[in-house]
């Protein structure tokens, strides 16, 4: 990074320059942002307040719900503000902050989703050893490791991305500071960041394979359950989690593995929405609406509030 870069202003091209479409974009993103914040706050409240939800699965869910509002807050508010003010600028340090916190939170989310799949695997495939393998200490250690891995990955990505001077027009064809877009502005090939991206993709793919293997074992065990009610409960907790993981990782893989097009594409903007804005918004809906325990906890909270 040189002084000219650090004093620069980046231009986020966003979805459209048409005022009516900018207002529509601001309204849609505002609705999704509000839904994400309120939904995750509700899950945090329920998993903290209800004594029946003091289990490892809901401990990890509460951590995920603490992370998701932060993840969407990295990109959505700035994009909403730019659309409402008809502005598309972001400062250099604002861009650095977006890269750091987006990488930190996205990496931590992948790690947490992997840990949650392991929790479901142990609960369904090894129920007699569940309390030993998923003790409170083990849960805290796995959660802390997820945050540490996210922090280390964020430091590497941020340092490598901005280690090479940028000499092209500082136009970013995204609604946030996206690493592939920033690499296209570099004066030379950023070998360090390509290496870091490669390592990150390998680790993320490893997490994805681990999750898939866990769910193969889970579904085999579920299909062998004699109780129809037990199978329904297992599927209701596992299938939503698998949907979230697949959506989050597949869109991220596509964005980072696909070569940047020569001309800006609305399709690339939509794909990026699926790993930055959609997961924090749909997670509360999936985990609360399809989870019997969460719905019962919400009813108990309503009764307590009325009384």
Q: pLDDT tens digit string along 122-150? A: 998 899 999 999 999 999 999 999 999 99
The count of other CB atoms within 10 Å of the CB of residue 52 is: 11
Asked if 166 and 143 touch (Cβ cutoff 8 Å), the reply is no
pLDDT band per the 50, 70, 90 thresholds, residue 37: very high
- 60-64 contacts, C-beta under 8 A, 24 or more apart: 60/112, 60/115, 60/116, 60/119, 60/139, 60/143, 61/116, 61/287, 63/112, 63/143, 63/146, 64/109, 64/112, 64/113, 64/116, 64/283
Measured at the CA of 248, the angle between CA 115 and CA 150, to 5 degrees, comes to: 55
pLDDT at 161 over 70: yes
**Angle between helix 191-223 and 92-125 (nearest 10):** 20
- In sequence order, which residues have a C-beta less than 8 Å from that of residue 275 and are 6 or more positions away? 106, 247, 248, 251, 252, 255
pLDDT at 2 over 60: no
pLDDT at 60 over 80: yes
Asked if 248 and 211 touch (Cβ cutoff 8 Å), the reply is no
CA distance 42 to 119: 22
Q: What is the pLDDT of residue 10?
A: 87
- The pTM assigned to this predicted structure is 0.89
Q: What is the pLDDT of residue 5?
A: 52
């Amino acid at each position: 990074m040189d002084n000219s870069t650090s004093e620069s202003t980046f231009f986020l091209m966003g979805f459209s320059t048409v005022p009516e479409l900018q207002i529509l974009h601001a309204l849609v993103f505002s609705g999704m942002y509000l839904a994400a914040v309120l939904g995750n706050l509700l899950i945090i409240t329920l998993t903290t307040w209800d004594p029946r939800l003091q289990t490892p699965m809901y401990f990890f869910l509460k951590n995920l719900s603490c992370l998701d509002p932060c993840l969407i807050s990295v990109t959505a508010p700035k994009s909403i503000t730019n659309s409402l003010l008809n502005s598309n600028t972001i400062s250099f340090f604002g861009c650095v902050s977006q890269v750091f916190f987006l990488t930190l939170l996205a990496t931590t989310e992948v790690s947490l989703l992997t840990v949650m799949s392991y929790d479901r695997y142990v609960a369904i495939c090894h129920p007699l050893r569940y309390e030993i393998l998923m003790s409170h200490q083990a849960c805290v250690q796995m959660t802390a490791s997820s945050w540490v891995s996210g922090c280390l990955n964020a430091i590497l990505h941020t340092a490598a991305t901005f280690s090479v001077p940028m000499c092209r027009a500082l136009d970013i064809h995204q609604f946030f500071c996206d690493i592939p877009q920033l690499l296209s502005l570099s004066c030379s090939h950023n070998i360090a960041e390509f290496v870091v991206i490669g390592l990150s993709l390998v680790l993320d793919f490893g997490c994805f394979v681990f999750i898939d293997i866990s769910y193969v074992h889970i579904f085999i065990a579920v299909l062998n359950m004699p109780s129809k009610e037990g199978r329904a409960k297992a599927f209701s907790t596992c299938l939503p989690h698998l949907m979230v993981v697949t959506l989050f990782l597949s869109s991220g893989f596509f964005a980072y593995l696909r070569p940047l097009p020569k001309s800006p594409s609305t399709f690339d903007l939509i794909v990026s929405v699926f790993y930055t804005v959609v997961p924090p918004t749909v997670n509360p809906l999936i985990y609360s609406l399809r989870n019997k325990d969460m719905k019962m906890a919400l009813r108990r909270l309503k009764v307590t509030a009325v009384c």
